[in-house]
Amino acid sequence: MQQPSKLTDYRRAGAPLPAHNRLWPLYGAGFDNMGRAGQPIDAPMPPYGADELLVRHDACGLCFSDVKVVRAGEKHPRIYRDIRQEPVVLGHEATMTVVGVGERLRGQYRVGERFLIQADIYVNGVNLAYGYMIQGGLSQYGVIDQRILNGDDGNYLLPVQPGAGYAEIALTEPWACVVAAYRLSYRTTLKPGGTTWIIGTPAARRAIYTITAGFDETSHPARLLLTDVPPTFAYWLKQRAQALNIEVQDISSLPSLPSLPSFPSLPSLPSSPSLPSPIESIDDIILLSPDPTLIEAASPYLAKFGIMAIIAGTPLPRQVNVDVGRIHYNRWLYVGGPGSDVARAYGDAPVRSELKAGGRAWFIGAGGPMGSMHVQRAIEAPGGPRTILCTARSERRLRVVESTYRADAEARGIAFTCVSQADEAAYRRTLETVGAQGFDDVVVLAPVTSAVAEAAEYVAPGGVINVFAGLGRGAMVDLDLSAVYLKGVRIIGHSGSTLDDMQLTLSQVESGRLSPNRLVAAIGSLSAARDGLRAVEEAVFPGKIVIYPHIKELPLTPLADLKHKLPTVHAKLKDGREWTTEAEEELLHVMLP
């Protein structure tokens, strides 16, 4: 069918550019500092240089991360400038079309080409994320400079096929974070060239220990710290270290320390002058004893991607106060085993980040947009779980998840249950029945520590707790880490994505294997972005809000309300409720100026 000329012209991007650019600057913390008098502003069209591109933002998804920036203003960890003078323009879930090409780039790019941006842009190791330090998608036009085209990871723009929908491409960014959560990988040996700290206790002196891998000519740490290591093992380690040219330091016994919530509050250890500070960090910590106090005292020294291996065969006498925020953000990992070989604690039960095929999966906090994405992926993934439990505090939002995905789940033979925590009795009954055998995978999407604690109660032997929710560093939870070394349980977490994750997700979207459009819950024009972010903050919708910066004025509109506001657009929704590329085409046909 021939496309309307208005939409065709828009896609070609050859029309004369306006003199002004409409955008939402954030001048400080709080929604009152977003725009002027609650509205976006008009600014001159941004100039672009010879090695830069001028792009048109076609669609932008709204994210709770945007809300965090609004709340924090320039105190946000990704913002490091005076935003009163240089305001932030939010919007990192953005898709764009090239409308201007600098003269030195004309052999590489052309007007009308479409791109998706990987928002996590690094230049010389510094994060200059799109929609944070670089002007984002809540603007009609923006400039793509060499920080984006030639950053630390190369080009952060990913080419998009011409016929793809704008919303589905914009929502590829959050989807990539979901895809990445099941592609996490962790070391299975001591870090080569890193620092390893081995800590013993008097109770460990009678045991015989060894390290059969990761401590030889092919791979070994560069530095070895020893505290109360049994004499026989210490002698063996020092002999090997000398042969391998590994630096060795003996460190005094650790004092008994209380639980340590964060690095700044960690007391100094005056009896251990050679012990590095937590800021210097250690890649591997080996504990030769089931001592919760030692675990708590030593954990803050872990580096990013650090691993603590607990070598023990008996349960811990009490729970351990664990920083799950750093499991998420610093990618800490706890492993262990009952034997005497440290290497087996790493290699015998490598981390499984993918959902167990044919297993039982529980999604805690499944009622929000990210929860819906995780549930959709679990249902649609080949070889996924056979039992899925979805829980959330909001009955209303959970019912939307149920109505959206139950038919698909049951068509694939998946036992699919949704229960709200609002009904405490039904919630407990469901956990005791569906979770009677334990869950192979528990994905924590609710940013509350109690959710992690409850997940630990129901995880099966060999199971994985994936802390996807961004609990802040220093978020402490009492957990029985005995399950780590006696039952092979793993606790992992992360919610970002790489260029590879984005490319993989984009290929799935463009091939039709993944449909981000199913997540669209409401749409609006650029002027609706502020109301949209408030709706994200208040968890009004179970799905995503998509802003179209170039359509005529359209207030924040749930898809169901299109039936009365834009009936021809509503008529092209799937089953009267799901966004489609056809509905988007009709929206642009009707609403482009």
**Tens digit of each residue's pLDDT (9 = 90 or more) over 339-370:** 899 999 999 888 999 999 999 999 999 999 99
As a whole number of angstroms, the distance between CA 147 and CA 343 comes to 42
So what's the pLDDT on residue 204?
77
The CATH class given to the 360-472 domain equals: alpha beta
Residue 415 to residues 340, 410, 429, 459, Cα–Cα distance (Å): 41, 7, 16, 18
CA quadruple 569, 571, 577, 579: dihedral sign = negative
Q: Which amino acid is at 186?
A: Y
At the top level of CATH, the class of 5-179+500-516 is alpha beta
Instruction: Give the DSSP H or E segment for 149.
Output: helix 146-149
Could you please state the CATH topology (level 3) that the domain comprising 195-347 is classified under: Rossmann fold (3.40.50)
Report how far residue 361's alpha carbon sits from residue 388's, in angstroms, rounded to the nearest whole number.
Answer: 5
Q: Take residue 219 and report the two structure tokens written for it.
A: 């791979």
Contacts 24+ apart (CB under 8 A), 297-301: 297/254, 297/255, 297/256, 297/257, 297/260, 298/197, 298/199, 298/254, 299/260, 299/323, 299/332, 300/260, 300/262, 300/263, 300/266, 301/197, 301/276
**pTM for the complete prediction?**
0.89
Contacts of 502 (CB under 8 A, 6+ apart): 116, 118, 158, 172, 173, 176
* Confidence at 269, pLDDT banded by 50, 70, 90: very low
Domain with CATH 3.40.50.720 in the chain: 360-472
Query: Helices 64-72 and 529-537: crossing angle, nearest 10°?
Result: 100
What is the rounded distance in angstroms from the CA atom of residue 183 to the CA atom of residue 497? 10
Q: Please answer whether residues 82 and 55 qualify as being in contact, where contact means their C-beta atoms are separated by less than 8 angstroms.
A: no
- State pLDDT tens for residues 29-63: 999 999 999 999 999 999 999 999 999 999 999 99
Q: What does the longest C-alpha to C-alpha distance in the chain come to?
A: 83
- Measured between alpha carbons, how far is residue 400 from residues 194, 361, 447, 470 in Å? 48, 19, 20, 24
Which two tokens mark 140? 């009609």
Nearest CA among 507, 519, 517 for reference residue 166: 517
Given the structure tokens 């463009």, which residue do they identify?
Answer: 510
CA 533, 500, 513, 464 torsion-angle sign: negative
pLDDT tops 70 at residue 448: yes
Do 519 and 362 touch, CB atoms closer than 8 A?
Answer: no
Has residue 271 got a pLDDT over 60? no
Q: Write b or e for each residue in 326-336: b if 16 or more Cβ atoms lie within 10 A of its Cβ, otherwise e.
A: bbbbbbbbbbb
Instruction: Tell me what the pLDDT averaged over the chain comes to.
Output: 92
Q: Are 290 and 464 in contact (CB under 8 A)?
A: no
% of the chain beyond a pLDDT of 90: 88
Judged against a pLDDT cut of 60, whether residue 255 lies above it is answered with no
Two tokens, residue 330: 């610093």
Q: What is the pLDDT of residue 265?
A: 34
Q: Which spans in 381-520 are helix H?
A: 395-411, 424-434, 449-458, 482-486, 499-510
Q: What is the pLDDT of residue 252?
A: 74
Q: What is the pLDDT of residues 517-541, one digit of tens each?
A: 999 999 999 999 999 999 999 999 9
Residue 365: how many CB atoms within 10 A of its CB? 25
Residues of the chain within CATH 3.90.180.10 domain(s) are 5-179+500-516
